[in-house]
């Protein structure tokens, strides 16, 4: 019974991580930012598939995740834009 509860918790947290990281992924795609890697979990890769420019991974410990995006340098810093917007 205890093991079954642990498995349920791990799958539930994995699903929540998927939803959370999926939000980052969708916003990045909506703003046309290149996504290098979408990964659920930490540690070694269990499953991996490359589709287009993005590599999708499922890792061994599904208690976290990340979306690796292309970094861009802005000529103008974001806080200058932010403060200009709120002061006008």
Q: Where are the domains of the chain?
A: 2-87
Q: How far apart are CA 70 and CA 37, in angstroms?
A: 10
Q: Are 39 and 49 in contact (CB under 8 A)?
A: no
48, β-bridge pairs? 57
pLDDT at position 16 is 94
pLDDT of 72 above 70: no
pLDDT at position 82 is 65
Which is the catalytic residue, given 21, 37, 53, 55? 21
Residue with tokens 């499922």: 58
The answer to whether residue 21 is catalytic is yes
Predicted confidence (pLDDT) per residue in 3-52, tens digit: 999 999 988 998 999 999 999 999 999 988 899 999 999 899 999 999 99
pLDDT at position 75 is 55
pLDDT at position 78 is 59
Range from 34-38, 45-49, 64-68, 76-80 carrying the lowest mean pLDDT: 76-80
């Amino acid at each position: 019974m205890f093991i079954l509860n642990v498995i349920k918790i791990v799958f539930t947290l994995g699903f929540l991580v998927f939803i959370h990281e999926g939000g980052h992924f969708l916003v990045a795609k909506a703003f046309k930012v290149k996504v290098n890697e979408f990964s659920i979990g930490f540690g070694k890769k269990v499953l991996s598939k490359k589709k287009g420019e993005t590599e999708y991974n499922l890792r061994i410990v599904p208690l976290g995740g990340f979306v690796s995006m292309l970094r861009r340098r802005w000529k103008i810093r974001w806080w200058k834009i932010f403060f200009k917007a709120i002061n006008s």
